Chains A and B, each alone.
Chain A
Amino acid sequence: MGGAAAPPGANLDRDRLCAFYQQMWRIRAFEEWAIRGAEEGEVFGTVHPSIGQEAVAVAICGNLRGEDVLLSTHRGHGHTLIKGADPYAMMCELLGRADGTCGGKGGSMHIADFGIAMLGANGVVGANTVIAVGAAQRLKYLRSDRIVACIFGDGAVNRGTFLEALNWASIHGLPVLFVCEDNRYSASTRTADLTAGEGAAARGAALGVETMEADGNDVLALDATAREAVGRVRGGRPLLLVARTYRLVGHTSRDPAAYRPEEEVAAARERDPIARCAALLRLAGIAESWLTETRDAARAEMEAVYLRARNAAWPPPDRAAADVQDVGSPAERPF
């Protein structure tokens, strides 16, 4: 598929493609260590890996400015990492340590980093869409040229919030890039079996929101689409980008995903975005040794992050009552 549509090797922006390859490996290596952490009992809560979907994070978040706003999902490690979060702080959050992005209060599903305008992963499917439009409304009110990127899965298009948010962004002309990261499964059930009509793109169009569709596993093509989409949104209108990808692993790190036909998974492995990116790089004359070294360097980086996080301090118990609220705070009186 997508590989055939890629430009000839000689015309490739090799540096850019090398950077994509490296970033996708950083995401995958982070999640490999997160999964291992769950297996070793160091990560306590549920981890939702995005293995196989890394191109979406790289293409979308790589095209945002530092001050642009991002909202993500329960499957958000990649988005947050590429937006610029420190993987050590992210790993500490997974391990419930004081150095975590949220001081250990949130875990994997609630990673947020307001310092890089990342307003939070969200444990409720589709909940970020309505939060995103309000952030965009505030930016418009401030006459800012910042935009909001809101990434959600294909399961979210069956929530009322999706309809409400796209309608709201459309009537108010708000700078929101809605990204449907379509991995074909709503948890463990095929979204196609649960979704009437022509799906996400048709729903966007029905609400007057410009819609683009792209192969979410072709990082080069998706990058070009994302750049175009971000530019249009910065012009002051919402846009829905549907990126078709596939989750190569289960819904959670504990899910063997046995509900998927073997041939479907095998075909998806052939379309692994990292492997496809590597193939393009080989075409462009990049040495096999560089590909291997880059992968190994990403794994070494995340191993070091994991080992450091494992030795990080726990939050002191009195933090449990902090940051609830000012008036009527449990910190001032143990009600």
Chain B
Amino acid sequence: MPAVTYLEAARRALAEEMRRDPDIWAVGEDLGRGGVFGQYRGLIEEFGPERIIDAPISENCILGSSVGAAMLGARPVVEMRFADFALCAIDELVNQAAKARYMFGGQTRVPLVVREPVGLWKSAAAQHSQSLEAWYVHIPGLVVVMPATPADNAGLLKAAIRCDDPVVYMEHKDLWGLEGEVPEEIAPIPLGTARLARAGRDLTIVTWSAMVHGAMEAAETLAGDGIEAEILDLRTLWPWDRETVFESVRRTRRVLIVQEAVRVGGFGAEIAASLAEELHGELVAPIRRLGAPRIPVPYSPPLEKQVRVSAGRIAETARSLLRA
């Protein structure tokens, strides 16, 4: 299998889906020039401006028009440029897309994919760096996907496009250039299935998106000390793969949850609470969570470093769990 970047994997998957289904179109700012990160490069040449739609800087309309088009049978891929900018269109996503099927009594579906690039990247500061996945997991009607590898960014994007309900699809900006093997034939990956990133017996690290890579680095360090960490990459946050997480934690009896997002009110809290409710008696150490402090993302590298969860901190926290 050839090595492909995270960005290129998604571009290929989108192109393949668009060849398969003429109801799919993509809409967003600068798509005719390939998109702000190049995720749409070359697509307008193949699919034309009716399917690679250049949008004005009108987030309400980018997302809202996609809701209307989806109600009439289109399957829009909606590029929001940065997850931070998608906040301009919260009404269209939360009040319209997520609720139309339900509040209209099942008369309609809104099959769209909202691509919202997230995460710390190149000192992008407070308005271009957030990871707000927990907001969307909280909204009934939405599916939330966060791929961590090139192969997953191909297979999960295909699955998201084929999903009949609205999907918030959060790619991590710092992973665009990450290379990895991607199958020649990209198959959709079932939504709601975690990936076993590393097998281990001593503790379970539950994580997602770019933090998977920090956790893998930490696991290498821990292995040097004879500690074998199992790493689960959730891939989909709603629905999350409870069965796989529970099975692993029952076995290792120790769990560390790692997220890049602000720890307070984050998705890690939901996982921790679920484990505490059901596995309390089986755990031999307290459930631990790592995430960002509750401060906006600062610009200057030494300041930005303060909100970043490092591999070193993951390893150190894991060791403390083993001592518990």
Contact A167 B102 (CB under 8 A): no
Q: How far is the CB of B61 from chain A (nearest CB, A)?
A: 4
Q: How far is the CB of A263 from chain B (nearest CB, A)?
A: 38
List chain B residues, Cβ under 8 A from A284: none
Contact A135 B71 (CB under 8 A): yes
- Is A103's beta carbon under 8 Å from chain B? yes
Q: How far is the CB of B301 from chain A (nearest CB, A)?
A: 36
A140-177 toward B: CB 8 Å interface, digit per residue (1/0)?
01000000100000000000110011011001000000
Question: Could you say which of B71, B95, B140, B239 contacts A124, with CB atoms under 8 Å apart?
Answer: B95
What CA separation (Å) do A131 and B96 show in the bound complex? 9
- Is A250's beta carbon under 8 Å from chain B? no
Which positions 74-92 of chain B face chain A at CB distance < 8 Å? 74, 76, 91-92
Question: Known: A119-B71, A135-B71. Contact between A124 and B91, CB under 8 A?
Answer: yes
- Is B141's beta carbon under 8 Å from chain A? yes
The residue in chain B whose Cβ has the minimal distance to the Cβ of A102 is B105
- Is A120's beta carbon under 8 Å from chain B? yes
- Is A203's beta carbon under 8 Å from chain B? no
What CA separation (Å) do A325 and B76 show in the bound complex? 17
Contact A133 B56 (CB under 8 A): no
- Is B50's beta carbon under 8 Å from chain A? yes
Contact B96 A324 (CB under 8 A): no
The residue in chain B whose Cβ has the minimal distance to the Cβ of A330 is B140
Contact A167 B68 (CB under 8 A): no
Question: Known: A119-B71, A322-B106. Contact between A164 and B60, CB under 8 A?
Answer: yes
- Is B143's beta carbon under 8 Å from chain A? yes
What CA separation (Å) do A8 and B271 show in the bound complex? 75
Query: Which of A104-112, A208-216, A235-243 participates in binding chain B?
Result: A104-112
The residue in chain A whose Cβ has the minimal distance to the Cβ of B104 is A112
Question: Could you say which of A101, A105, A131 contacts B64, with CB atoms under 8 Å apart?
Answer: A131
What CA separation (Å) do A105 and B100 show in the bound complex? 10
List chain B residues, Cβ under 8 A from A168: 55-56, 58, 61, 65
Q: How far is the CB of B143 from chain A (nearest CB, A)?
A: 5
Q: How far is the CB of A334 from chain B (nearest CB, A)?
A: 12
- Is B300's beta carbon under 8 Å from chain A? no
Contact A138 B69 (CB under 8 A): yes
List chain A residues, Cβ under 8 A from B102: 105, 323-324
- Is A137's beta carbon under 8 Å from chain B? yes
Question: Known: A130-B92, A165-B61. Contact between A114 and B104, CB under 8 A?
Answer: yes
Interface footprint category on A: 35 or more
Contact B108 A141 (CB under 8 A): no
List chain A residues, Cβ under 8 A from B72: 69, 135, 138-139
List chain B residues, Cβ under 8 A from A123: 95
The residue in chain B whose Cβ has the minimal distance to the Cβ of A160 is B60
Question: Known: A130-B65, A168-B56. Contact between A112 and B141, CB under 8 A?
Answer: no
Contact B68 A102 (CB under 8 A): no
Which positions 11-64 of chain B face chain A at CB distance < 8 Å? 25, 50, 53, 55-56, 58, 60-61, 63-64
What CA separation (Å) do A173 and B125 show in the bound complex? 38
- Is B142's beta carbon under 8 Å from chain A? yes
The residue in chain A whose Cβ has the minimal distance to the Cβ of B74 is A138
Contact B107 A327 (CB under 8 A): no
Question: Could you say which of A100, A134, A327 contacts B68, with CB atoms under 8 Å apart?
Answer: A134
The residue in chain A whose Cβ has the minimal distance to the Cβ of B238 is A328
What CA separation (Å) do A148 and B215 show in the bound complex? 51
What CA separation (Å) do A123 and B65 show in the bound complex? 17
Question: Could you say which of A105, A113, A161, A164 contacts B103, with CB atoms under 8 Å apart?
Answer: A105
Contact B61 A324 (CB under 8 A): no
List chain B residues, Cβ under 8 A from A137: 53, 65, 68-69
Question: Known: A114-B108, A127-B96, A327-B239. Contact between A102 and B64, CB under 8 A?
Answer: no
List chain A residues, Cβ under 8 A from B92: 127, 130-131
Contact A323 B106 (CB under 8 A): yes
What CA separation (Å) do A326 and B109 show in the bound complex? 10
Ordered by A's residue number, 20 sampled pairs between the chains whose C-beta atoms are within 8 Å are A102-B103, A102-B104, A102-B105, A114-B107, A120-B100, A123-B95, A127-B91, A130-B67, A131-B64, A134-B64, A160-B60, A165-B61, A167-B61, A168-B65, A324-B101, A324-B102, A327-B143, A327-B191, A328-B143, A328-B238
Q: Which residues of B contact A (CB under 8 A)?
A: 25, 50, 53, 55-56, 58, 60-61, 63-74, 76, 91-92, 95-96, 100-108, 140-143, 163-165, 191-192, 238-239
Name the 9 nearest CB pairs between A and B, nearest first: A130-B64, A134-B65, A328-B239, A134-B68, A102-B105, A103-B105, A135-B68, A323-B106, A131-B68
